[in-house]
Amino acid sequence: MSIRTLIVDDSAVVRQVLSAVLGAAPGIEVIGTAADPVRAMTLMRRSWPDVIVTDIELRGMDGLAFVKQVMATRPTPIVVCSTLVGPGARAGLAVLAAGAVAAVAKPASGLKRYLEADSGHIVPAVRAAAAGPVRRPERPADPARTPGPGERPIVAIGTSTGGTQALERVLTALPARSPAVVVVQHMPEKFTAAFAERMNGLCAVEVREAADGDRVRDGLVLVAPGGRHLELLSDPMAGYRVRVFDGPPVNRHRPSVDVLFRSVAKAAGPAALGVIMTGMGDDGARGLLEMRRAGATTVAQDEATCVVHGMPKEAVAIGAVEREVPLPAIAEVIRSHG
């Protein structure tokens, strides 16, 4: 049975040469190539490879972070092929500690000629990776280690016109032990507190209007106050907390979905799930794209179930969305993220 291999490298030449070298080796099948981790994760969700060959220097997310994301999502044999993994190189040691099974060096110049001539290293590395046990990442001895900033699952939701009804449908379907959720719903000042209070009475999760400095935790939904922006921040003690602040409108809105999503991209990266739902305009589209580039999972409510498809449509148009889902399925997406 062939070893199904995915190649991740931002160099088109390297992708082409590695595809040719590995594809010509008996027992190895190249099932796809990707220029960056975001595209790689999209391909992997469709068809998970037996072995991943990746560089360290990648667009949008470095290879070390990509290795860590893969090992946290679904441990898979990974061979790193990079100019940064010579003997004793810190980068090579770091990727091996993160869970990669092998690190193969490549030169800074003459890559095509080198890779073609040096297939005797990369081909056995892929075969050995597929045959051996998956290496678990090295972890501190304390099994009760508290997840650090950027490691806890977090869900960010942005919505506008039609959003109060859509949020009710989603939030009432969440169990009490759901991942933490932060929400921007375009709503006038003073209305958000009443909305959060009403949702709190209907939901198994706790729902409340966010206050500056609130800690974010599982089973809690924080709703941005009307007339103020909401950001997610890393907190060494709590994992995440929120910042509620005044500021000029962004995309004509305060709170703005873009402000929230951009902060989530920075604070949480691959640990985040971004959800853009029914609403008019384009607020949130560019912020969701930043989340996707940071390795987050991103979904949009589909057109058929939106009151207004404006915000999800704009996000899809710029490549910010991995998949579109109907409103009834969004709660399940959130539950599975935890």
pLDDT, tens only, 195-221: 999 999 999 999 999 999 999 999 999
99 close to 164: Cβ distance less than 8 angstroms: no
Q: Catalytic pick from 55, 82, 186, 309?
A: 186
What SS3 class is residue 129? helix
pLDDT above 70: residue 278:
yes
Residues 58 and 173 in one domain: no
List pLDDT tens digits, range 162-198: 999 999 999 999 999 899 999 999 998 889 999 999 9
| pLDDT at residue number 305 | 94
149 domain-assigned: no
| pLDDT at residue number 321 | 94
CA torsion 19-22-24-27 (nearest 10°) is -130
Model's pTM, two decimal places? 0.60
- Strand pairing class (154-159; 272-276): parallel
Mean pLDDT of 16-41: 90
Q: Is residue 186 flagged as an active site residue?
A: yes
Residues 42 and 176 in one domain: no
Residues 56 and 167 in one domain: no
Task: For residue 285, give its domain range.
Answer: 154-337
Q: Is residue 82 flagged as an active site residue?
A: no
Count CB-CB contacts under 10 A for residue 70.
26
- Prior bond of 326 cis (ω within 30°): no
141 close to 298: Cβ distance less than 8 angstroms: no
Dist CA 54 CA 84 (whole Å)? 12
pLDDT band at 110 (very low <50, low <70, confident <90, very high): low
- Residue type at 124 in one-letter notation: P
143 domain-assigned: no
Q: Catalytic pick from 160, 178, 256, 263?
A: 160
List pLDDT tens digits, range 51-100: 999 988 887 777 888 888 888 778 889 998 887 765 545 556 777 777 88
pLDDT above 60: residue 101:
yes
- Residue type at 273 in one-letter notation: L
* Phi, psi (rounded to 5 degrees) for 241: -145, 170
Residues 92 and 229 in one domain: no
Residues 97 and 225 in one domain: no
- Strand pairing class (102-105; 78-82): parallel
pLDDT above 70: residue 45:
yes
Q: Is residue 47 flagged as an active site residue?
A: no
